[in-house]
Amino acid sequence: MVSEKKLASAARVALTQCLGVKEGEKLLIVTNPEKRRIAEALFQEGEKLGADPILLFYPKGSINGEEPPNLVAEAMLKSDVIIAPTVTSLTHTQARRRACKAKARVATMPDISEDFFVRGLSADYNEIQRLSKKVQTLLDQAKVAHVTSPSRCNLYLDIRNKALVSDGNLKMPGSCSNLPTGESELAPKTANGILVADRCGKFITEPTKLEIKDGYIIKYEGNPSGRRFRKLVEACKQKDGNDNAAFIAEFAIGTNKSAKVTGLILEDEKVYGTCHIAFGDNTSYPGGRNPSTLHIDVIVFKPTITFDGRIIMKNGKLIV
């Protein structure tokens, strides 16, 4: 078990270095009982900083992107700073988007573990910001990305949308990202080819082939991971009443050298030397026009990535 002292130290980094919490600000910690120790550490450090913290528990959701209860959403609208160590992600929800529109600063921590909370927030955020900005610039200059991997991924993506950085700087009103963090990301316009997902939390635990046409998954590998992932996507398609859950939502490159592959999506997608591709909702990104109840990231290990034919990552190492 992680010590309370280490949790407190990580909580202070999140509140001060990343979110810039100030005395008197309304600080809302939204959480589930499963994340109690992290939430309580954030509450206690918020008190020490002179903020006005509120700790709000609600039962865990079933999938990433599920809206929180109305009471939670209303509290988010009245807060200056929101931190959400929850089991499922609030990032791609209307509640989070409305809170940011009302100028709240938001850090989401979907399925955060105590180990990654401490390890991820002890990272060199100056280095993360440098790498993330470099990758963002390259993304913004490119039109087509090509991703291959040792698992035989062979995917082409149209990346002509504005890229964002998730580098831990959440001091501007209306800002939002995961914490701990480290990635540069955008919403692709479309994609075609073979995506081989190496990992996706509990859903994909072995290399799994997904065939992509015009941005949509059209075929799933028949292994256990492929069947689990298909069941998830199909359930969300049925709930949405459309095919949006099967559409490519995000392309991103990890930039956090302190993160490591653990099976936790929040951490796996931040690992330096990986890229990830999400399906479902992309309306939080510039140019994103695909609403869905689902947003799920799949990870590609040791990718080789080209932008407009120029190699920018080879076997998981940035070379530009």
Tens-place pLDDT, residues 74-129: 999 999 999 999 999 999 999 999 999 999 999 999 999 999 999 999 999 889 99
The band of 247, judged by pLDDT with boundaries at 50, 70 and 90, is: very high
User: What does pTM read for this prediction?
Assistant: 0.91
Contact 190, 197 (CB under 8 A): no
102 and 141 share a domain? no
61 and 131 share a domain? no
CA distance 104 to 98: 9
Tens-place pLDDT, residues 35-50: 999 999 999 999 999 9
The band of 203, judged by pLDDT with boundaries at 50, 70 and 90, is: very high
- The answer, yes or no, to whether residue 173 has pLDDT greater than 90, is yes
Tens-place pLDDT, residues 252-299: 999 999 999 999 999 999 999 999 999 999 999 999 999 999 999 999
Domain of 113 in residue numbering reads as: 4-120
Q: What share of the chain is helix, strand, coil (3-state, %, to 5)?
A: 30, 30, 40
155 and 238 share a domain? yes
Total tally of structural domains belonging to the chain: 2
- The answer, yes or no, to whether residue 320 has pLDDT greater than 90, is no
Instruction: Return mean pLDDT, the chain.
Output: 97
152 and 9 share a domain? no
For the chain, strand residue ranges (E) read 26-31, 52-57, 81-86, 105-110, 144-148, 154-158, 164-166, 176-178, 183-186, 190-197, 208-213, 216-220, 248-254, 274-280, 295-301, 304-307, 310-314, 317-318
75 and 168 share a domain? no
For a pLDDT cut of 90, what percent of the chain falls above it? 97
173 and 94 share a domain? no
